[in-house]
A = this chain, B = another copy of it.
Amino acid sequence: MREKMTGKELLQFLEEHSPQEIKDALEFIHPADILDALEDYEGDQISFLSRLPNDVLATIIEEAEDEDKGEIFDLFSQDQKKEIISEMASDELVDLLETMDEDEAEELIQSLDEEEAQELKTLMNYHPDTAGGIMATEFMAINNSMRVKDTLQHLQQYGDEAETLSYLYILDKNGILQGVVSLRDIVINKFETPLKELINPNVITVSPELDQEEVARIFQKYGFASVPVVDASYKMLGIITADDVLDIVVEENTEDFEKMSALAHNEGEYLETGVLGLARRRIVWLLFLMVSATFTGFIIQGYEAALAEMVILAAFIPMLMDTGGNAGAQSATLVIRGMALGEIAIKDFATVLFKELRVSLVVGFALSAVNFLRILLFNRDLMLGVTVSIAMLFTVVVAKIVGCSLPIIARRIKLDPAIMAAPIITTIVDALSLVVYFRLATMIYM
């Protein structure tokens, strides 16, 4: 039924048709697909774009990835820029303005009418990662004295401007939120039904300062299409829509994956980032961790005498290090993910610690036992088995305690818990477990 156009086909279409035909056709092509065609096309992008009406250009810039928005926008003249931004939704416009330098943004804002300009400046004052930073101000406010039919007529007149119509908001004359009606309830009830009967006074709202991860959790819990943002006096400031939340969840997860693997954040896609760009994301963390790991090396140097006498001790270093790293990563991941999903809070620290202690004892004893038997079988050395197995038990316990504690401590001191993941934990656990391993060995053998 539906075939996507390639960049070439789209250009051909644009060249062969009148502005009105183009406008009619584009109504039913999703801007995300126009953007795809644009990216595929090898030629001059402006030859496409100059043929598109401003409202379509506005949606294309809205759809583009944050790092591409500015690039597309900059293809246009200052005058056309002003026309394009007048077609954009407030939340999307804020995203675009934030990619520019201050003077340029200021000049564009001045071209809007005064009310809009004021609204935008307020929006730009919120932190981009909060409810205020992601909300749009184009919501649909209605009067609670209407009936269904009046409401529909009101929507016919003013509905076009709203970001979403899934919910209509009932405000008093001071803009204080009184209740909400879903569009679904409007359309399934008879024309004569008074709105009052359909209004839900128990509105779930968020404050503009709420972190976007918390906002996402509210959407996940309630399955809403949008949520109103209100200040402390319940004055309605804006709405957040579900499609933006999906992007936020994906973005926040990507950032967590990166932090947990010692990668600096980068906006661009892998295949589109150059070698030096990719190297830069990795080298700082690798250097830091490499230098940290040399301390573990100093520990081993400190036991050079013991090692010279019992070279076999070196053979168990990799196993102890890897097991410590893995055991710590497991605990850290469970806690980081649990906190990201709102299942674990700072107040649960003692519970988590006690739980991880018990889990580590169960897991540690099992691994030590397997290990002890293996050394008896292959190395036929009882005291070596005892040394390695005790060190193993200690390693697992320390790994799990450190692994579960650091992310919670990070959250407590307002750092992102995901920073305290496998790489840092491995480095710490390695040092601790090798100290114990060599101390044990010197006690037993010397």
When the two chains form the complex, which single residue of B243, B291, B322 contacts A242, counting CB atoms closer than 8 Å?
A: B243
Q: For A28, what are the chain B residues with a Cβ–Cβ distance below 8 Å?
A: 200-202
Contacts A28-B201, A293-B318; A329 near B1 (Cβ below 8 A): no
Distance of A5 from chain B, by nearest CB (Å): 10
Q: For A53, what are the chain B residues with a Cβ–Cβ distance below 8 Å?
A: none
A125 interface residue per 8 A CB criterion: no
A382 interface residue per 8 A CB criterion: no
Whether B319 pairs with A371 at a CB distance below 8 angstroms is no
Interface size class of chain A, counting residues whose CB lies under 8 Å from the partner chain? 35 or more
A343 interface residue per 8 A CB criterion: yes
Cα separation A188 to B177 with both chains bound (whole Å): 23
Whether B275 pairs with A362 at a CB distance below 8 angstroms is yes
Q: For A126, what are the chain B residues with a Cβ–Cβ distance below 8 Å?
A: none
Q: For A314, what are the chain B residues with a Cβ–Cβ distance below 8 Å?
A: 300, 307, 314, 317
Whether A225 pairs with B225 at a CB distance below 8 angstroms is yes
Contact stretch, chosen from A42-50, A101-109, A131-139, A419-427 = A419-427
Q: In the complex, which of the residues A247, A291, A325 has the most CB atoms of chain B within 10 Å of its own CB atom?
A: A325
Contact stretch, chosen from A75-83, A262-270, A409-417 = A262-270
Contact with B along A260-285 (1 / 0, CB 8 A): 11110000011100011011011101
Contacts A188-B160, A315-B301, A318-B296; A422 near B261 (Cβ below 8 A): yes
Q: For A367, what are the chain B residues with a Cβ–Cβ distance below 8 Å?
A: 283, 286-287, 290
Q: For A247, what are the chain B residues with a Cβ–Cβ distance below 8 Å?
A: 220
Distance of A154 from chain B, by nearest CB (Å): 10
Distance of A340 from chain B, by nearest CB (Å): 9
A311 interface residue per 8 A CB criterion: yes
Cα separation A283 to B396 with both chains bound (whole Å): 11
Cα separation A292 to B319 with both chains bound (whole Å): 8
Whether A286 pairs with B323 at a CB distance below 8 angstroms is yes
Cα separation A243 to B220 with both chains bound (whole Å): 7
Whether A275 pairs with B152 at a CB distance below 8 angstroms is no
Contacts A29-B202, A329-B423; A366 near B183 (Cβ below 8 A): no
A249 interface residue per 8 A CB criterion: yes
A204 interface residue per 8 A CB criterion: yes
Distance of A408 from chain B, by nearest CB (Å): 12
Whether B363 pairs with A188 at a CB distance below 8 angstroms is no
Whether B165 pairs with A426 at a CB distance below 8 angstroms is no
A333 interface residue per 8 A CB criterion: yes
A443 interface residue per 8 A CB criterion: no
Which residues from 311 to 360 on chain A have a C-beta closer than 8 Å to any C-beta of chain B?
311-312, 314-319, 321-323, 325-327, 329-330, 332-338, 341, 343-344, 348, 351-352, 355, 358-359
Which residues from 132 to 165 on chain A have a C-beta closer than 8 Å to any C-beta of chain B?
152, 155-156, 159-160, 164-165
Whether A319 pairs with B307 at a CB distance below 8 angstroms is no
Contact stretch, chosen from A14-22, A66-74, A110-118, A251-259 = A251-259
Q: For A362, what are the chain B residues with a Cβ–Cβ distance below 8 Å?
A: 275-276, 279, 283
Which partner residue on chain B sits nearest A3 by CB separation? B202
A186 interface residue per 8 A CB criterion: yes
Besides A263-B334, A301-B312, 9 other A-B contacts (C-beta < 8 A): A2-B203, A30-B204, A160-B188, A164-B184, A271-B338, A276-B362, A282-B359, A297-B315, A298-B315
